[in-house]
A and B are shown apart, each in its own frame.
Chain A
């Protein structure tokens, strides 16, 4: 069967030759008048009124000279021989409810089709006045130029859905070289939330990529940012598919299974032990890794957290000084103190020493060429980060991160940041993507291609608004990512509100159910009114896809992803309420070793400082290879027990040093 194959060659790849034979029965005829002429790119044809074709159907015209034209239907009109509506009023004697006409008026179905491909390609000529036939599956392949990448020794097609029209169903493939680079890259999907099935489409597409991406093109992984709800929290859990959906999977040659390899990451809640994720059901929470960063991880991306209004050139210079000269280095203040700053707590101690020193000195407001006001400002901003992003950013320097450098082929890395505020989401996104880019540049990430899925692009890369670090980063990925293998799969409700360089650089564009107001914006001028109307009424599971090989967009259906959706996941695996500190620690250790009794853990941590326990827990979780004696290892990482009253004494521990600031933006 399919399992075990690194990639699959579609059956269509086995066909030989590009010229296909027409179907027997014509469904229409090309018509051209002086007012409505045929051109090389568009023509008109009529059909019977009870034809099976509709907007988006692919048709074929065979000219008398052997020329074959493939085209997609983009518009339709119907009219009768009624000269003026007034005549209908007269005939009905002004009564719409009058007797029905015994004869139906002569009526025409007039279709407009945009040319997808002409064979031969040269010379480019108007479409001949010939019979029109419905495209067969072979025709669809030729019409969309899929024959160029589905055939040969190294096919590179990725199935994206099924084209259906007039009883013809045909799988549609996109070219991996144009989806994941290097020729073109990136995918942008747009549509109304809840109706456009954007997340489902991306989940399905990732599954298709993982199963069909050719091995000779390298390894591929995906990093998904779960920015709202439980959408991406159950990618490893199977969905119940109907027979019809399974049949669609069969036609697309995709195994309808959930993702085999998924890694989940989520920050802690402010308590530092309960994970901030909706995948917190006891059955699943063990598979969620904490995402925690320390001072160094944050300082490198201070631009994300501190906007230009906050930080002027002087503050910038001081932050650079801290990053270059202070952090993780032996540093002497000017008053005999020695510092090695590894955490926010260490940084606060340094700031306190500086302020105390300057106050004691009493003769200068300057320290190492930096004014005390600048130092106070930077101190407020930086320490505020550990408050606002508490759970992600640790005071004490504990780091739990994605396995940069050891990414696995065909593994999905989900970062559940839905519970974080905007600042935290921005920080996670920027740092993760920066790390991906740096590792891809050095070719040491572990895979050659990474798909980064980001929803709500209009929030992260808006067309209008201030220039943010996140937007700059998205622009950078969009414009240069394809050379590195860094591929952006972006989704948003309103494409017009996303920066045009971000959407413009997406080689493959997918449209789900659209809002009519959005369709009225200039970006959709190239679409016919009928195409727009179809977009505005698309049912769930249907999409319109634009791809560099397709001359015109094509409508297709895709099956529901074989993974549990967010709502279903939350119903089946209800999130657990946060538990007490002791219970949370016991539970996490029990996930590593089911034999550990919670009571023993509670006894062990009783009377200890929570920060010490957190550090020991994190060290235990991240220990590789995994210790055989989990509890023993955990205990070995705990410092010697101290009396409770000392631990709780204000100012004695790290927790007390980093005080929440009443006005974090005060100078």
Chain B
């Protein structure tokens, strides 16, 4: 009598991880998750090698940071306040701040904030529009899709809020650069939208867009702790070229690939290679103090965290 082949028993988690290790995998933390990952709008973008032909890992040593540095961050908050028919009306608060660090102490040097309403104004009746305008808050128009969809409409409104936040950050940066043109400004994120005349350094901690591929990407994403990659160039949305490189702030073994990994940006010029090592060195020394309890502490610089906390605290009841 024919018999069915025996099914392999389900391996335990420990056996699975051991098997993966035997296969040459680098094991992650293995944290349980259940939330879906939001769709990534721009997963890839082009880059050009600058420092070397291929990406390499370059050791860096911690260096003391410049005595005076500015740190920029911004926040956004919104609430869905209601609907006029099917048209959503959101109230938003965006704020950006630059704190100047001198003798280890952070002090507010520039701050810009704005409260406004967001709605797909095109869908409102003239009477509704007039009444909304008369409420005392500026009204930003979000994109109105052809077909009404409450979630998409809200998504478009949030996109408008993000744009407003970026504009506010830009305004705060401008204020700081005007007041303190000689000091470096460390920005939470990319600097592609900023004029090349500003002494801005971007520290990107989200890696939605990848500029490298193949072995270069593998070298970048498996960088050992305390190393940076070769400098490469990317082009911002306004067509401005910036020089960028990855830097591993914390050992990632036992965690995921992006753990402790930041991407640093600076203006594209001939000094980038030397600056990359120096900048990486003092960014390494910025690991302390730790920006806990923020969950992104492995990539979030403490001064940026402090600026963000200040903005959140000052936003008051928006919390």
Tell me if chain B binds chain A: yes
The residues of A with any CB-CB pair to B shorter than 8 Å are 81-84, 87-88, 90-92, 98-106
B293 lies within 8 A of A88 (CB): no
Query: Which of B15-23, B73-81, B282-290 lies on the face that meets chain A?
Result: B282-290
Residues on A with beta carbons closer than 8 Å to the beta carbon of B64: 99, 102
Shortest CB-to-CB span from B157 to chain A, Å, is 32
Q: What number of residue pairs across chains A and B have CB atoms under 8 A from each other?
A: 56
Chain A residue nearest to B297 in the complex (CB): A87
For residue B269, CB closer than 8 A to chain A, the reply is: no
For residue B9, CB closer than 8 A to chain A, the reply is: no
Shortest CB-to-CB span from B195 to chain A, Å, is 27
B285 lies within 8 A of A99 (CB): yes
A91 lies within 8 A of B287 (CB): yes
A105 lies within 8 A of B289 (CB): yes
A103 lies within 8 A of B306 (CB): yes
Chain B residue nearest to A104 in the complex (CB): B104
Of residues 49 to 72 in B, which have CB atoms within 8 Å of A's CB atoms? 62, 64-65
Residues on A with beta carbons closer than 8 Å to the beta carbon of B292: 82-84, 87
A92 lies within 8 A of B288 (CB): yes
The DSSP consensus for interface residues of chain A is loop
A81 lies within 8 A of B309 (CB): yes
Most chain-B CB neighbours within 10 Å: which of A81, A82, A83, A100? A81
Of residues 263 to 319 in B, which have CB atoms within 8 Å of A's CB atoms? 282, 285-290, 292-293, 297, 302-303, 306, 309
B62 lies within 8 A of A103 (CB): no
B293 lies within 8 A of A102 (CB): no
Interface residue from A83, A88, A90, A103 paired with B106 (Cβ < 8 Å): A103
Considering the complex of A and B, which 9 residue pairs feature the smallest CB-CB distances, nearest first? A91-B288, A83-B293, A91-B290, A87-B292, A87-B290, A101-B288, A104-B104, A83-B292, A101-B289
Interface size in chain B (residues, C-beta < 8 A): 21
Residues on B with beta carbons closer than 8 Å to the beta carbon of A81: 293, 306, 309
A101 lies within 8 A of B104 (CB): yes
B290 lies within 8 A of A90 (CB): yes
B290 lies within 8 A of A102 (CB): no
Shortest CB-to-CB span from B253 to chain A, Å, is 15
Interface residue from A82, A90, A100, A106 paired with B309 (Cβ < 8 Å): A106
Residues on B with beta carbons closer than 8 Å to the beta carbon of A106: 106, 306, 309
| Bound form: Cα–Cα A92–B287 in Å | 9
Most chain-A CB neighbours within 10 Å: which of B65, B288, B306? B288
B288 lies within 8 A of A99 (CB): yes
| Bound form: Cα–Cα A92–B285 in Å | 10
Residues on B with beta carbons closer than 8 Å to the beta carbon of A92: 288
Residues on B with beta carbons closer than 8 Å to the beta carbon of A88: 288-290
Chain B residue nearest to A106 in the complex (CB): B306
What are 7 A-B contacts with C-beta separation under 8 Å? Answer: A83-B292, A87-B289, A91-B290, A102-B101, A104-B105, A104-B106, A106-B306
Chain A residue nearest to B301 in the complex (CB): A103
Of residues 225 to 282 in B, which have CB atoms within 8 Å of A's CB atoms? 282
Residues on A with beta carbons closer than 8 Å to the beta carbon of B62: 99
| Bound form: Cα–Cα A59–B306 in Å | 30
| Bound form: Cα–Cα A100–B104 in Å | 10
Chain B residue nearest to A50 in the complex (CB): B105
Shortest CB-to-CB span from B155 to chain A, Å, is 33
A102 lies within 8 A of B105 (CB): no
Task: Evaluate whether A102 and B309 lie within 8 angstroms (CB atoms) in the complex, with A82-B292, A83-B292, A84-B292 already known.
Answer: no
Shortest CB-to-CB span from A25 to chain B, Å, is 18
Chain A residue nearest to B313 in the complex (CB): A106
| Bound form: Cα–Cα A102–B303 in Å | 9
Task: Evaluate whether A102 and B306 lie within 8 angstroms (CB atoms) in the complex, with A82-B292, A83-B292, A84-B292 already known.
Answer: no
Shortest CB-to-CB span from B188 to chain A, Å, is 14
Shortest CB-to-CB span from B301 to chain A, Å, is 8
Residues on B with beta carbons closer than 8 Å to the beta carbon of A91: 287-290
Shortest CB-to-CB span from A3 to chain B, Å, is 54
Known: A92-B288, A103-B302, A106-B306. 11 other contacts (CB 8 A): A83-B292, A88-B289, A91-B289, A98-B288, A100-B104, A102-B64, A102-B65, A102-B282, A103-B106, A103-B303, A105-B302
Chain A residue nearest to B104 in the complex (CB): A104
| Bound form: Cα–Cα A90–B289 in Å | 9
Most chain-B CB neighbours within 10 Å: which of A90, A92, A102, A106? A102
| Bound form: Cα–Cα A99–B289 in Å | 11
Chain B residue nearest to A102 in the complex (CB): B65
Residues on A with beta carbons closer than 8 Å to the beta carbon of B104: 100-104
B288 lies within 8 A of A82 (CB): no
Chain A residue nearest to B67 in the complex (CB): A102
Shortest CB-to-CB span from B117 to chain A, Å, is 30
| Bound form: Cα–Cα A88–B297 in Å | 12
| Bound form: Cα–Cα A100–B103 in Å | 12
| Bound form: Cα–Cα A91–B65 in Å | 16
B289 lies within 8 A of A103 (CB): yes
Residues on B with beta carbons closer than 8 Å to the beta carbon of A100: 104
Task: Evaluate whether A102 and B106 lie within 8 angstroms (CB atoms) in the complex, with A82-B292, A87-B292, A91-B290 already known.
Answer: no
Chain B residue nearest to A80 in the complex (CB): B289
| Bound form: Cα–Cα A84–B303 in Å | 18
Chain A residue nearest to B71 in the complex (CB): A103
Shortest CB-to-CB span from A618 to chain B, Å, is 78
| Bound form: Cα–Cα A101–B284 in Å | 11
Residues on B with beta carbons closer than 8 Å to the beta carbon of A104: 104-106
Shortest CB-to-CB span from B106 to chain A, Å, is 6
Shortest CB-to-CB span from A483 to chain B, Å, is 60
Chain A residue nearest to B101 in the complex (CB): A103
Residues on B with beta carbons closer than 8 Å to the beta carbon of A87: 289-290, 292, 297
Shortest CB-to-CB span from B185 to chain A, Å, is 15
Shortest CB-to-CB span from A88 to chain B, Å, is 7
Residues on B with beta carbons closer than 8 Å to the beta carbon of A90: 290
| Bound form: Cα–Cα A82–B302 in Å | 11
Task: Evaluate whether A103 and B285 lie within 8 angstroms (CB atoms) in the complex, with A82-B292, A84-B292, A87-B292 already known.
Answer: no
| Bound form: Cα–Cα A99–B286 in Å | 10
| Bound form: Cα–Cα A486–B282 in Å | 75
Most chain-A CB neighbours within 10 Å: which of B101, B286, B290? B290
Per-residue CB contact flags for chain B residues 93-109 toward chain A (1 = under 8 Å, else 0) read 00000000100111000
Residues on B with beta carbons closer than 8 Å to the beta carbon of A105: 289, 302
Most chain-A CB neighbours within 10 Å: which of B282, B293, B303? B293
Chain B residue nearest to A91 in the complex (CB): B288
| Bound form: Cα–Cα A102–B71 in Å | 13
| Bound form: Cα–Cα A513–B270 in Å | 67
Shortest CB-to-CB span from B94 to chain A, Å, is 22
Chain B residue nearest to A81 in the complex (CB): B309
Shortest CB-to-CB span from B303 to chain A, Å, is 5
Residues on A with beta carbons closer than 8 Å to the beta carbon of B285: 99, 102
Residues on A with beta carbons closer than 8 Å to the beta carbon of B282: 102
Shortest CB-to-CB span from B78 to chain A, Å, is 25
Shortest CB-to-CB span from A418 to chain B, Å, is 58
| Bound form: Cα–Cα A498–B122 in Å | 86
Most chain-B CB neighbours within 10 Å: which of A84, A87, A92, A98? A87
| Bound form: Cα–Cα A103–B186 in Å | 14
| Bound form: Cα–Cα A43–B246 in Å | 50
| Bound form: Cα–Cα A101–B62 in Å | 12
B286 lies within 8 A of A103 (CB): yes
| Bound form: Cα–Cα A268–B101 in Å | 76
Chain B residue nearest to A92 in the complex (CB): B288
Residues on A with beta carbons closer than 8 Å to the beta carbon of B309: 81, 106
Residues on B with beta carbons closer than 8 Å to the beta carbon of A84: 292
| Bound form: Cα–Cα A100–B64 in Å | 9
| Bound form: Cα–Cα A153–B105 in Å | 55
| Bound form: Cα–Cα A502–B64 in Å | 64
| Bound form: Cα–Cα A104–B102 in Å | 10
Shortest CB-to-CB span from A336 to chain B, Å, is 104
| Bound form: Cα–Cα A106–B289 in Å | 10
| Bound form: Cα–Cα A101–B285 in Å | 7
| Bound form: Cα–Cα A88–B282 in Å | 18
| Bound form: Cα–Cα A88–B288 in Å | 8
Shortest CB-to-CB span from B299 to chain A, Å, is 14
Residues on A with beta carbons closer than 8 Å to the beta carbon of B293: 81, 83
Shortest CB-to-CB span from A545 to chain B, Å, is 38
